[in-house]
Amino acid sequence: MNKKAKLNGDVNHVHFIGIGGISMSGLAEILHRDGYTVSGSDWTASDITRHLASLGIKFHSGNDAAYITNDIDLVVYTAAVKPNNPELTAARDKNIPIMDRAKLLGLIMKGYPNSIAVAGVHGKTTTTAIIAEVLLAADLDPTISIGGFMEAIGSNYRVGDSSYMVLEACEYFDSFLQFYPQIGIILNIESDHLDYFGNFDRMIDSFRRFAGNIPDDGTLIIHKGIPCLDKVIENLTCNIITYGDSDADFWAKDIRYSEQGLSSFHIMNGERSKGEATLQLRGTHNIDNTLAAVAVASILNIADEIAIQGISQATGTKRRFEHKGTYKGAAVVDDYAHHPTEIKVNLAAAAHGTYKRIICAFQSHTYTRTQNLLEEFAAAFEHADIVLILPIYAAREVAIGPTPNYLAELLTERICDHGKKAYFLESFEMAEDWLKDNILPDDLLITMGAGDINIIGERLIKSVE
């Protein structure tokens, strides 16, 4: 398959600003393997950039206009890159075409007739990983682009040599509107990224347009329980498959949990059982994610037993309820959850286990999300016994409020208002000291957030090795 032909014929050298990112690195390697000359820059070197360099991709540390040489034919950037970025400015000055990551990914997708795009406010990474496991079990040699490290492929991407591709479709900045998948999946729609969308109705419209990009002979797979379902599917001309609720096309029957909190259930297609599955992934949300993957398998005519094999061996990706080890007899788990619903469902999944107490150390991601969803965050920790709140991970933002920790401290107060024990700790070191003094055998420590809070659990485990 000649995927290279999907870019302009004059393009040979592609430069990536932010090449060390999870998605950007995968795209860089896809183009490299397709025969392009690839270079890129990022703020710091990492295992990802070192891997790219080992392939012959030139890596530059930092941002510098000098990196934009005259032989570059296309510059690719992410939404996080500022308009005044020196490399982006240099590309414009030299009249070198520029393209955002989503558009490039959309162009690459055109080389894959059986493309699958997974959308939703949360669950994209795990569901993409489950679908990837099904495609691998069926020996379909898929290309995979995923927002996390997937153990089964030893990376965040895989370059296959078939017509199959599965990837995440991010709604932020309307990025997924660049995609025209044969199979589109919408897992859920909830308020998030309101710094961009402004209001929930604008978000719904964006998902509706994503669904509208699916061709007439393609299929939308969508959760039956989405409150705004009718608005999303209105006037669609593609096929529609629902999952989740008992009146959906695909649903789960006879759900049972082991002492470790792992679920077993019958996969139903209407009134017909497609077989029984036992997951290695915790939580009712992952039962739903599995049903979406089974719906994909049915469209692709993958045998039920092969689909069940794939979903039963799926372990997700790093930072998705990832067991890191133990500390003083307590289990240490890390999770990427950074939206109230994600927090709630992951703590509910933990509650199915036999832990004495659940201690959640949470680092909220961005000030605007914390402010916009403050009350939802405050109510999300109902299944935790103790909540430790750390300073907010700023990412691209500046602090909101009279002090940098104002919102984190306010969130702590709101959690206490819901009857939970919650403490604000000003640093990772303070959190580690608190845990050293208070954690008990048979507790579960779960670190949560999209920033670098995983460091806390890793340091504790290392301290007793």
- Our answer to whether residue 409 is catalytic in this structure is no
For the residues of 118-137, what is the DSSP string, one character each?
EESSS-HHHHHHHHHHHHHH
Q: Residues of 199-224 as b/e, b for ≥16 C-beta within 10 angstroms?
A: eeeebbbbbbebbbbbeeebbbbbbb
Burial class of residue 358 in the structure, from the number of CB atoms within 10 Å of its CB (0-12 exposed, 13-18 middle, 19+ buried): buried
- How far apart, in whole angstroms, are the C-alpha atoms of residue 112 and residue 34? 14
- How far apart, in whole angstroms, are the C-alpha atoms of residue 21 and residue 157? 12
- How far apart, in whole angstroms, are the C-alpha atoms of residue 119 and residue 223? 11
- 3-state SS assignment for residue 52: helix
- Our answer to whether residue 432 is catalytic in this structure is no
| Cβ-Cβ contacts under 8 Å for 51 (sequence gap 6 or more) | 25
CB atoms inside a 10 Å sphere around CB 259? 8
Residue written as token pair 């795209």: 27
Report CA-CA distances (Å) from 249 to 231, 237, 300, 443. 19, 18, 16, 39
- How far apart, in whole angstroms, are the C-alpha atoms of residue 120 and residue 169? 8
- How far apart, in whole angstroms, are the C-alpha atoms of residue 87 and residue 107? 23
Task: Exactly one of 124, 274, 324, 420 is catalytic; name it.
Answer: 124
Give which of 355, 351, 347 is closest to 330, Cα–Cα: 355
- Tell me, what amino acid is at 130? I
| Cβ pair 179, 213 in contact under 8 A | yes
Task: Exactly one of 133, 168, 190, 322 is catalytic; name it.
Answer: 168
- 3-state SS assignment for residue 259: coil
Chain centre distance of CA 30: 20
- Our answer to whether residue 124 is catalytic in this structure is yes
Task: Exactly one of 49, 125, 242, 412 is catalytic; name it.
Answer: 125
- How far apart, in whole angstroms, are the C-alpha atoms of residue 316 and residue 313? 9
CB atoms inside a 10 Å sphere around CB 56? 9
- How far apart, in whole angstroms, are the C-alpha atoms of residue 422 and residue 28? 43
Which positions are annotated as active-site residues?
124-125, 168
